[in-house]
Amino acid sequence: MNPLYYQAKFLSSNPSLITAPKDSGWEIAFAGRSNAGKSSAINRITKQKSLARTSKTPGRTQQLVFFQIDPQRRLVDLPGYGYAKVSQNIKQQWQIHMSDYLQQRQALQGLILLMDSRHPLTELDWQLIDWLQQAQLKTHILLTKADKLKSGKAKMIQQQVQQQLNDYSEFSCQLFSAHRCIGVEQAHNVLDHWFELGHNGQDNKKNPDNIGDDCQG
């Protein structure tokens, strides 16, 4: 685990890119369907209970929310997509802000794509994946809420998702649970690699591939 993430601080919440923090340094964004567990994952990764706002009700995160790790590095919680109960107009606004962000943000290093492990690869997920592939943006998939599945079933789903993405480059995939601390170290390792950080928060070019799944210590 990299303790640097534990010092993450809320930076700003912005309805659009116009008021977002200066586009410099490095950012990693969290995207996925509403209720997939984006905000919970950010809280687990940063070991903070309520850094990002979570909710049982889909559609909680409605803005681009920036968290600072250090002066050069940020995590970004994006509004979820696919939430049926918001008006068409609001949906379109969210989509515009999300796609503006993905298309225009120079600081963006890679995307963490979250999908509920019980319902992965929905039509909207595929639309985003196809777009990411064209944009050649590095993508790491967290199959969330893995605690809701038996471990054999969860592993099978992970393999199936991996197989379906075999022809896509720059994609990787893992199981994750914010509630049960599954896959947190593996997620840290991906962030470290994209942020070019060592385990103790020092800048470092190496890619640690140690896979862990607990939050002790």
Ligand X SMILES: Nc1nc2c(ncn2[C@@H]2O[C@H](COP(=O)(O)OP(=O)(O)OP(=O)(O)O)[C@@H](O)[C@H]2O)c(=O)[nH]1
Cα distance between residue 137 and residue 132, in whole Å? 5
User: How many of the chain's residues bind Mg ion (CB under 5 A)?
Assistant: 4
Is the CB of residue 94 less than 8 Å from the CB of residue 65? no
Contacts of 178 (CB under 8 A, 6+ apart): 37, 40, 41, 43, 44, 144, 145
Q: Closer CB to ligand X, residue 97 or residue 197? A: 97
Q: Which one of Mg ion, ligand X, none is in contact with 113 (Cβ closer than 5 to 8 A by kind)?
A: none
Q: Which one of Mg ion, ligand X, none is in contact with 186 (Cβ closer than 5 to 8 A by kind)?
A: none
Residue nearest to ligand X (CB): 80
Among 6, 90, 133, 147, which residue interacts with ligand X (rule: CB under 6 A)? 147
Alpha helices in 46-165 (DSSP H): 88-104, 123-135, 151-164
CA-closest candidate to residue 46, choices 20, 73, 15: 73
Decide: is 80 part of the binding site for ligand X (CB under 6 A). yes
Decide: is 43 part of the binding site for Mg ion (CB under 5 A). no
Site residues for ligand X, window 8-47 (CB under 6 A)? Answer: 32, 34-40
Tell me which stretch binds Mg ion (CB under 5 A): 59-67, 155-163, 170-178, 195-203: 59-67
Among 61, 144, 174, 189, which residue interacts with Mg ion (rule: CB under 5 A)? 61
User: How many of the chain's residues bind ligand X (CB under 6 A)?
Assistant: 23
- In our burial notation (b when 16+ CB lie closer than 10 A, e otherwise), range 75-94 reads bbbbbbbbbeebeeeebebb
Supply the minimum distance, in Å, between the C-beta of residue 64 and ligand X: 12
Q: Distances from the Cα of 178 to the Cαs of 3, 40, 115, 116, 142, in angstroms? A: 17, 6, 13, 12, 10
Binding site for ligand X (CB under 6 A): 32, 34-40, 54-56, 58-61, 80, 144-145, 147-148, 177-179
